Structure 1
């Protein structure tokens, strides 16, 4: 028995000796495996560290304090990551050994193998700890200004390089917190401002930018800057909003350049949360663009930088780049030189007329352009828009060969200044205004509109918007478009502005064909106004005191397109809406629920109906009477719970149906006397070719061929 106990003790001693010896040999002979394990664990830790860093960044962006445990973990993770990378990078030296690899360096191999094993264990512990600090999701990172291609918009001209150098020197001066780029419309101030981030990445960490415009919404400017900084500025109290924004702009670990574009009148920067402490503030500076160089006279430490016209050979080089090789034709070269001279070095005029004449070899068109530039300009545009810019833009507009392109261009000025314009809106407006007679398919009209948009963009009359599927107008181009609409008697009435407190009063509205009224201050609309020629009406007014008389639409019998964003605070649509017998396109986006939504069913000629992001709860059976409806948009109507049975199947002309994000729960099989529509109703829609619908709650689809060819 004693002998057995002895053997057991010796066995345990042997095991205790073998394990450490085996581990030591493992450092030596399993070197490659140890390094591979370290690399795998390092990759896992990096993913964890990235997740923790996202949370830390979000916390700091929102001016909250990061917990000391997170700071300590990140410090330790960064240090261990660097040590692990050093061990991995030394792998080649270990494998090289002596005598060109014939004799391995056993001592170094053992040492590095041991380090790899130890470090792998440390990384595993860090990874496990860091996993507790990771959330499932984070807010998206701050937005960045899209860079301007230096080969197209920002030219390497001496006059522009000189201005850029002056701007950079001013930005380097800690005593100058406010810098303005000033000049007439069409000089390229915005382009210059957007180029600054590309040239000053070594000076600043972040470059938030907002467009202020002629009728500024300063709360929206705050929100735009905050969004680009990753700051959630959802509080309503103006003092709290400004204080939070100010804290974010003065964070010690960030250097921030705020860019405010297109300022017309000065406002209290400090009150809005934009700090201007001069020499004591080295973290935040403000760069703005304006046609007015007399802003903020009371601020001592500021710098205004004037952007002048192009000089010397610069105008020719810019024009030549836009117009192409045709300018080199012997017959056209003299005309091209004269056109450049007439443009007076104004970049927007040179670019616009150059693009209009691109690859144009007909001498008559060049003569016409020169004559229009030389003609006296009697247009009463603001003094900040040079006559030559107006004439160049008017020529580009007049040179458009497609009348539909002209109509589309002019309708873009009905939207607010600096506003992103949805191309899809233009498609649906165009259907209602009958721009494309003879084309019945919605998708074919959409293709035509996109072609027209490309034509206008190629002439510099339209620009890419900030978001996909959107376009925008340069503010000077919009001014000219409004002037053209008035000059050519198109019957446009455009009344926009935060200061507009009452419906515009006119002797008569009988000549107006298109009216755009945008203001959140209007409290009452007129009733029964005679608008006998009115075909297009766009109204945006979100006012809790808004009063809309029931007879508001009585004198608008010819109305074809109605975009009515006035519905946030009302529960009843004006009863006179039902008498708009010629209405073809109706937008009621972002509206509340209506108690009388069924009156829309009386608009029997309606072809486009949109309720996007609205709070309607039911699509009543009267909607089934819209037998001419081609497009129904219920996107993100998450309160929609019921569609009356038979409504969908009655819309026999429907080509496009958008219901993604709706709250509706479909019945897979139709039930006799059921309370809701079923998927069976789609079976009768032979014209339907576009369907966006949420059917995730349906166990299985009915055997309808339609579903096999549509995106579900």
Structure 2
């Protein structure tokens, strides 16, 4: 508490713009700064943003993390452009920027963080294992050390994580011995105590015996954390959960749960899990349990998980030693040069620049089931010729004119990810007949060719934010008969109009979605509301984000908090046919913009029909809107309304006490 209070005082000091926190891994630096972030948000600062830096500095990744916190979607492609955009946005308010886990000097200007005379309302809070990095590299004005917990603090934390059962007469002596084995390190205490929570006496005795296996001289400092984490890992309930945790260590800091879902599905990790929804529920359950055991942490939103550096290091060591998983993060281990060992790996993840720059012509690894690489380098044409057992292939931010020809040998491939890759020709993907998950999000593809129609086993297709995608060959989408989830938000808008002769079609039409009987999830943009009414696919949707109207005016919508979201930008008065009405009845979040000539929004919108599932309503830029009358419409679930730029609004009426109102000052708002 004394350190926390000292940091708070430093942040209040106008003469201090950079504050540092340092200490060994696992000591609690991240927990400290997150608690400070919670305390100062809305009080000392209007906004708090947090980015994890890590040993291998990635400026663009840091920029993206900060943008996520600010709700900012970059239009710029270059780091310089993103830095300018961030700088302008951060200048708008008092903001605390937390940069966690700095290993060496980071160029703040290159990231786009305004400090000092440029913007006195912005301050930096840094964490590092090395004091010299904070002093010499980052010019921190005040620095605070965090040491190990004393015996009382350690026991208090242990009790909190393990539960009150540790105070029982027969258990307390053993529990105290177990707590001492954690050497005052919070991360070790949290993992061990969490694993033993509500366990019986014989399990505690067995845990103490196992924790005593290393010599007492080795059970100090960071070794205590590594040993405790390995023990906690061994205590996980099943091999499935262990492998899921190790996949989390492949993904790393602030990983997307959805990536984990797709990996596990591609690998066929869970027995008895057959659908996308079942896999998602299973992974969410496992992640929640791993968080409860302190092996994973909460991230900055519910869609992500985080992992402590010490836990991450331990997980990678376990993966290498016991599971034939090679994750090259920031250095080249001796195992990479051993061809016999390479052939035995089941998983390889390459992020190490020295390795990626010198790939072999052929990857001799017949037992490989998972391959991940992140770098803008050229892959040799025959690289995948001897990896025929591969099930998951993730090539992140790669640059291709065309994909390596050897990909056609991957006949067992279930998941292919080319996220954020620059790729011109993807015709060869059509040969991957067993592919179930194809992720092309934010890639540079311009066309989805006719060969893709051969992917009849595909269950998930992600084309989100493919800005250059202009052509989807006719009859490709309708051929994907097993498709359950289709994501096209921020992407393709050139749907073919109805009535065009088959031989004249140049693009996909919305009619094709009617031929997908399994489709349950859809994220799509439709430029004209009149294209929807006759489409039956809306009846089968369980989840959707459907944007209707002017593409450029939809950029203000970013949140996907609700399962069913409808966004309407209409330049004329409201006229809804059956398709849109059916969507409205199921919609949980409704965003309305434009509404030319509309005076009473909800009454005119739905002809006085109920909207039984509506939870969030956002009305924006309605130049003629005068009334918003909730009482005549059944909106029993409504809990949030946002009103923005409604200059003619006279009356708003809502009698539900649960409803929270967020609005701009409205000049004609009388009652």
Q: Report the TM-score when normalising by structure 1.
A: 0.66
**Residue from 642, 651, 654 that aligns with 2:480:** 651
1:558 to 389, 402, 424: 389
Q: Which residue of 2 aligns with 1:137?
A: none
Describe the shift of the 1:449–1:669 C-alpha distance in structure 2 as closer, same or farther (beyond 3 A): farther
Aligned equivalent of 1:364:
202
Counterpart in the other structure of 2:339: 507
Indicate if the aligned counterparts of 1:612 and 1:633 stay in contact, CA closer than 8 A: yes
Question: How far is the alpha carbon of 1:603 from its aligned partner?
Answer: 1.0
- Give the structure 2 partner of residue 622 of structure 1: 451
Instruction: Using the TM superposition, give the Cα deviation of residue 575 of structure 1 relative to its aligned residue in structure 2, in angstroms.
Output: 0.7
Contact 2:459–2:485 (CA under 8 A) maintained in structure 1 = yes
Q: CA 1:349–1:524 in structure 2 vs 1: closer, same or farther (change >3 Å)?
A: closer
- Partners of 1:285 and 1:566 lie apart in 2 by 32
Matched, 1:517 2:346: no
Could you report, residue by residue, the CA deviation over 1:475-513 in whole angstroms, capped at 9, with x for unpaired residues?
A: 11111101111221x11121234x88xx96553420211
Superimposed CA distance per residue, residues 120-140 of structure 1 (whole angstroms, 9 cap, x where no aligned partner): xxxxxxxxxxxxxxxxxxxxx
Q: 1:667–1:258: structure 2 CA closer, same or farther, 3 Å change rule?
A: closer
SS where residue 131 of structure 2 aligns?
A: coil
Residue 348 of structure 1 pairs with residue 187 of structure 2: yes
Match of residue 167 from structure 1: 7
Count of aligned pairs:
534
Tell me how far 1:541 sits from its aligned partner.
0.8
Distance 1:639 1:628 in 2: 26
- Shift of residue 334, structure 1, vs aligned partner: 2.2
d(CA) in 2 for partners of 1:353 and 1:495?
Answer: 28
CA distance in 2, matches of 1:642, 1:479: 44
Among 418, 424, 428, the residue aligned to 2:258: 424
Matched position secondary structure for 2:452: helix
Matches within 5 A, 1:378-389: 386-389=222-225
Deviations 1:122-167 (A, max 9, x none): xxxxxxxxxxxxxxxxxxxxxxxxxxxxxxxxxxxxxxx1222333
The 5-angstrom pairing of residues 267-278 of structure 1 reads none
SS across alignment from 2:406: helix
Residues 351 and 236 of structure 1: CA distance in aligned 2, closer, same or farther (over 3 Å) = same
Q: How has the CA–CA distance of structure 1 residues 469 and 173 changed in structure 2, closer, same or farther, with 3 Å as cutoff? A: closer
Partner Cα separation in structure 2 for residue 170 and residue 604 of structure 1: 60
SS, match of residue 132 in structure 2: coil
Q: Deviations over 1:493-541 (max 9, x none)?
A: 21234x88xx965534202111111257854532112011111111111
Structure 2 unaligned spans of 5+: 547-671
Q: Deviations over 1:266-286 (max 9, x none)?
A: 4577898889999x9987764
Structure 1 runs not aligned, ≥5 long: 1-160
| Residue 292 (structure 1) aligned with residue 130 (structure 2) | yes
Shift of 1:260: 2.9
Could you tell me how far apart the structure 1 residues matched to 2:246 and 2:31 are?
24
Structure 1 position 707, deviation (Å):
3.0
**Secondary structure of the corresponding residue to residue 416 of structure 2:** strand
Alignment of 1:170-319 (within 5 A): 170-171=10-11, 178-197=18-37, 208-218=49-59, 221=62, 258-266=97-105, 286-295=124-133, 302-319=141-158
Answer yes or no: is 1:481 the counterpart of 2:311.
Answer: no
Give the stretch that moved more between structures: 526-535 or 675-684.
675-684
Q: What is the aligned partner in structure 2 of residue 329 from structure 1? A: 168
Deviation at 1:702, TM superposition (A): 7.2
Larger RCO (CA within 8 A; separation ≥ 6): 1
**Offset at 1:305?**
2.5
RMSD after superposition: 4.0
TM norm structure 2: 0.70
Q: Which residue of 1 aligns with 2:462?
A: 633
Q: Which has the higher helix share?
A: 1
Cα 1:326/1:174, change in 2 over 3 Å = same
2:404 equivalent to 1:574: yes
SS in 2 for 1:467: coil
- Deviation track 1:87-107 (CA, whole Å, cap 9, x = no partner) reads xxxxxxxxxxxxxxxxxxxxx
1:55-102 CA distance string (max 9 Å, x none): xxxxxxxxxxxxxxxxxxxxxxxxxxxxxxxxxxxxxxxxxxxxxxxx
Residue 518 of structure 2 corresponds to 687
Q: Is contact 2:165–2:198 with CA below 8 Å preserved after alignment?
A: yes
Q: How far is the alpha carbon of 1:669 from its aligned partner?
A: 5.5
Query: Larger Rg: 1 or 2?
Result: 1
Q: CA deviation at 1:591?
A: 3.0
Aligned counterpart, 2:664: none
